[in-house]
Amino acid sequence: MSFVDYTKEIQVVEGKQPLRTIDDIISKPLETKPDKKFYIAISVTLTMLMFGVIGLGLTFWYGIGMWGNNNPVGWAYDIVNFVFWVGIGHAGTLISAILYLFRQKWRTGIARFAEGMTIFAVMTAGLFPLIHVGRPWLDGYLFPYPNQHSLWVNFTSPLLWDVFAVSTYLTVSLIFWYVGLIPDFASLRERTANKFKKITYSIFSLGWRFSNRHWQHYEMVYLILAGFATPLVLSVHTIVSFDFAVSILPGWHTTIFPPYFVAGAVFSGFAMVQNVLIFVRRIFNYEHIITLNTLEKMNKIMLVTGSMVGYAYAMEFFIAWYSGVQAEQFTFFNRALGPYAWAYWIMVTCNVVSPQLFWFKKIRRSIPIMFVVAVFVNVGMWFERFVIVVTSLSRDYLPSSWAYYTPTLVDAMILIGSFGFFFTWILLFTKALPVVSIAEVKAVVDGAQPSHKDH
């Protein structure tokens, strides 16, 4: 490779775009009618969603028995999907909040989209705790509300902590996202001639007039919200991991779970964002905004978090051996060699081995390869949750109650449905809101900031 000058910052947006072009290019999908490709895409996602609706309908009508869950394996696809989607929802806030606080300018191109994905992923995830219960019509019992029975929720249950953690995360992410959108709404308001759009944008832009004062307030609020959101990035998956770590089940009862889950979540979140962005930048011609450099940086994060996850897998084994607890030791042997060994090795291959390819710069910068690797990571991370949830439950303390879990068609339908739900929202998002922050991108375009060189 040629000589790289590390003293010079890599341009976030490639080429010296006129600011007007940026406005045009980003708002173009919002101002044109959806094309055929869009309709094909949304019909696919809606079909997937339909599967989920039918699967859920069957579940609501007949009961949880429609799933493969059985006596030792009380949780399976339901909670696997929940943790998987919460994990996916981790990249967005990490990119927009933590990277913002660290002044990582390369985040500007992808932050909006990542945040959107966060919200949709958390929405998808949030469905599962509500539908996994046997009597979903009584879901209200999960929330602490004053009632004449004087009944209160059980604050010692990690499942309840989940309710709080996920709902807080969703709320803060939504506010954060919306605040970021305000200047863009104003820009769109200025651009559109459509009356309906104008009114809508006017309402949502909250009277933004691009004044200096507005910008000052905006920057401050954004900073504060970023500060708010940062601990949440870490807390949500920590608390989700408590669902397992607080129990006494071998394979769940592990102190490494909080950092391990957070790393895994960031890992899978980035993989999903990278997957989707590869399409987005191509379809909407954002190659110069969501640059290859940005993708490479994401791949580096995947390499780091993937290695952390790999370390956690190894450490679990070590601690199991070191603890001297036979049940704990067996659980991990059983993962690697037992009836679910296939799932374990899929997980290891996808999560630990495949991201190691990112040590090579060529691979980090090759879009097809990075795409495949990220798909692998997503598959692997789903299997990680499957391995944790199902293999631990299927063989716990008493060998007499061991049983093998096999998913049913309805399980698969709901899994497909969750993807349908998620991607339907994504597709609607691309046509309803600017998928890249107009205001922020303009701020990082070469020449947007005053510099001494040109003067």
Partner 1 sequence: MNDSSKTNNVLWKSIEGLNNDPNIQKMKEDEFLDGVTEDFHPNQLSGISRRKFLALLSASAAITATACTDYQDKGEIIPYNKRPQEVLPGTENLYASTCNGCSLSCGILVKTREGRPIKIDGNPDHPINEGKICTKGQASILNLYDPERLKEPLFNNRKISWNDVDKNIIEVLESAVQKGKEIAILTGELTSPTTKKVFDKFSEKYPTTKIYSYSTINQSTRSKAWFECYGSYEFPSIKFDEANVILAIDSDFLVNEDSYLENMRLFTKRREVVGKTDFNRLYVAEGRMSATGMMADYRIRVSPDEQYNFVMSLVNELSKKGSNIEFDPVTKSMVSSFSINNFSKKIGKEKLNYLIDDLNKSRGKSIVYAGSTLSKEVHLAVNLLNEVLGNSNLYNYLNESVVILPQSSREDFDRLIDSMKNGNVDVLIHFGSDPVFYLPYDFEYQSSISRVKTVISLSESLNESCSLSHYVLPLNNQLECWGDSFVQTGVYGLQQPVISPIFNTRQKESILLTWISGSSSNFSSDNYHKFLIENFTQTVYTKLNSFSDAKRVWLSSLHDGVVTLKNVEKLHKKISQSWIPLLKLAKENSGLTVHLTESYFIGDGYFANNGWLQEVPHPITKVTWDNYAALSPLTAKKFNLKNDDIIEVSVSNSKIKIPVFVQPGLSDKTINIEYGYGRKVIGDVGKDIGINPLQLISKNHFETKNILTNASINKIDGTHKLVTTQEHHSLDDTFVKDFHKIRKIIQEGTVEKYQKDPKFLHEHKHELFSITNEHTYSGNKWAMAIDLNKCTSCAACVASCNVENNIPVVGKDQVGKGREMHWIRIDRYFSGSPEDPIASNQPMLCQHCDNAPCENVCPVNATNHSPDGLNQMVYNRCVGTRYCSNNCPYKVRRYNFFDFRDHFADEYYQNNLTALVNNPEVTVRSRGVMEKCTFCVQRIMDVRSTAINEGREISPNEVVTACQQACPTNAITFGDANNPDSNVAKLRNHNLTYHVLEELNIKPNVTYIAKLRNTHSEDNS
Q: Total residues at the site for partner 1 (CB under 8 A)? A: 52
In the bound state with partner 1, the residue whose beta carbon lies nearer, of 19 and 153, is 153
Q: Which of 29, 52, 55, 72 binds partner 1 (CB under 8 A)?
A: 72
Q: Which of 28, 135, 217, 282 binds partner 1 (CB under 8 A)?
A: 135
Q: Cα separation of 121 and 115, whole Å? A: 10
The reply to whether 409 sits near partner 1 by the rule CB under 8 A is: no
The reply to whether 151 sits near partner 1 by the rule CB under 8 A is: yes
Residue 235, both tokens: 């807390």
The reply to whether 393 sits near partner 1 by the rule CB under 8 A is: yes
What's the longest Cα–Cα distance across the chain?
A: 80
Within positions 156 to 175, which residues make up the interface with partner 1, using CB under 8 A? 156-160, 163
* Residue 8: DSSP 8-state: S
CB of 450 to partner 1, least distance (A): 55
The reply to whether 360 sits near partner 1 by the rule CB under 8 A is: no
Residue 252, both tokens: 């769940």
In the bound state with partner 1, the residue whose beta carbon lies nearer, of 218 and 397, is 397
Within positions 271 to 330, which residues make up the interface with partner 1, using CB under 8 A? 326-327, 330
Q: Cα separation of 284 and 214, whole Å? A: 30
Within positions 94 to 123, which residues make up the interface with partner 1, using CB under 8 A? none
Task: Say how many residues make up the chain.
Answer: 455
Using alpha carbons, list the distances in angstroms from residue 304 to 22, 267, 268, 308, 359: 33, 8, 12, 6, 10
The reply to whether 368 sits near partner 1 by the rule CB under 8 A is: no
Determine the residue type at 254.
Answer: T
List the one residue out of 25, 1, 3, 4 whose CA is nearest residue 13. 25
The reply to whether 153 sits near partner 1 by the rule CB under 8 A is: yes
Determine the residue type at 400.
Answer: S
The reply to whether 249 sits near partner 1 by the rule CB under 8 A is: yes
Residue 225, both tokens: 């919200």
List the one residue out of 205, 286, 235, 217 whose CA is nearest residue 98. 235
Q: Tell me the angle at which helices 212-245 and 257-283 cross, rounded to the nearest 10 degrees.
A: 130
Q: Which of 38, 50, 70, 443 binds partner 1 (CB under 8 A)?
A: 70
CB of 405 to partner 1, least distance (A): 8
Q: Which of 399, 452, 453, 455 binds partner 1 (CB under 8 A)?
A: 399
Residues that bind partner 1 (CB under 8 A): 62-65, 68-75, 132-136, 138-139, 141-142, 151-154, 156-160, 163, 243, 246-249, 326-327, 330, 333, 337-338, 393, 396-404
